Structure 1
Amino acid sequence: MSATELIALFVATGRLYGVGIGSTLGDVQREIDSAFVDVVDAGGDSMRRDYGFIEFYFSSGQEWTVSGGAIELHRLAVRADLALRWRDVMRDEFPRYLAWEELLAEFSKRPDRPALEVIDQGDFLEYRASESKVSVLVNNDNEKRDEWLGHGDVWSVSLG
């Protein structure tokens, strides 16, 4: 599966590598075998597991459970090494840039795709799939792509 297909599936289902809201820390550890950094808040009520450009957010209870997550694609424009490391361990090759048109074309092929609501946020357009609780932020400035994202490039894909 290409990274674009993987992201389209994430937008449609709210699950990335089978992990979604309510998944346990153990579920994440079974599905994602990559180096990470855990950051626990001062009160011990929440945690962020950072894989470089993919993050999961957890809330505490009887065990840590996923409360959200994100694919921070904008980080790949300046840190190609993050995508290379991910490819080596997870076998998925994420692009340095991903155009919204490309992701939308892949998303549109899915028979189970939820409706998308478009919210204009000035420098970004948010495409929100309420059913899956996933939002795609797309760069809406007038800049052309160079070493950084340009108009129409996906900034991030967030669950929560």
Structure 2
Amino acid sequence: MNGAAYIASIIATGRLHGIGIGSPIADADQAFRSTWIDDLDEANQSLRRDYGLVELYFDGPDWTVVGGSVELHRLATVDGLAEEWQKDEGVEFSEYLPWSEVETALAQLPDAPDLTVDHRQSGYVEYRAQALRVSALVVDSHEERDDWPGHGDVFSVALG
């Protein structure tokens, strides 16, 4: 699957690799083949699991998903991340993902949600599927691509 189709599926379903708000940590263990780093807070109440491109957030004591994100901006700065994600998870990304490609992929889905557009965050436009609790941040500044996505590129996608 290509990156635009993957991101469109997240926006249309509110699920990231089959994982959604309320999913148990065991489901995440089965969904991803990538290695991860766990970051447990000092009170052992919340956990951030970082898979490199994806982060999932869990609340204890039952360790259920309360949020997640696809950190697409990392593709331009972390050498080998795109190749690793394709090998481990079967999703092909390039360094940058234009929002226009995601819009095209969303238009091909029969149940694509209506998106609200929010310009309140300086330098970004947020496209949000409110009912699904998912949003995409797209670079709205006039910056050119370099170590970060440029104008019109997806910066990140978030659940929650």
Provide the TM-score with structure 1 as the length reference: 0.95
Q: Residue 134 of structure 2 aligns with which residue?
A: 134
Tell me the CA shift for residue 80 of structure 1: 3.5
* Cα deviation digits, residues 76-123 of structure 1 (max 9, x gap): 111131121121211211221000111111112111111101000220
Q: Residue 22 of structure 2 aligns with which residue?
A: 22
SS of match in other structure, 1:58: strand
Q: Say whether the 8 Å CA contact 1:133–1:159 is kept in structure 2.
A: yes
Q: Residue 148 of structure 1 aligns with which residue?
A: 148
Counterpart check, 1:93 vs 2:92: yes
Tell me the CA shift for residue 49 of structure 1: 0.4
| Amino acid of the structure 1 residue aligned with 2:16 | L
- Name stretches of at least 5 consecutive residues in structure 2 with no aligned partner: none
Q: Residue 64 of structure 1 aligns with which residue?
A: 63
Aligned mates of 2:106, 2:90 — CA distance in 1: 21
Identity %: 46
Counterpart check, 1:113 vs 2:112: yes
Aligned mates of 1:34, 1:144 — CA distance in 2: 31
| Amino acid of the structure 2 residue aligned with 1:95 | S
SS of match in other structure, 2:80: helix
Q: Residue 39 of structure 1 aligns with which residue?
A: 39
SS of match in other structure, 1:118: strand
Q: Residue 102 of structure 1 aligns with which residue?
A: 101
SS of match in other structure, 1:68: strand
Moved more, 65-74 or 102-111: 102-111
SS of match in other structure, 1:101: helix
Aligned mates of 2:78, 2:96 — CA distance in 1: 11
Q: How many aligned positions are there? A: 159
Aligned mates of 2:146, 2:107 — CA distance in 1: 28
Aligned mates of 1:94, 1:23 — CA distance in 2: 25
Provide the TM-score with structure 2 as the length reference: 0.95
- Name stretches of at least 5 consecutive residues in structure 1 with no aligned partner: none
Tell me the CA shift for residue 34 of structure 1: 1.0
| Amino acid of the structure 1 residue aligned with 2:85 | W
Aligned-pair Cα RMSD in Å: 1.1
Aligned mates of 1:147, 1:37 — CA distance in 2: 23
Aligned mates of 2:20, 2:94 — CA distance in 1: 23
SS of match in other structure, 1:155: strand
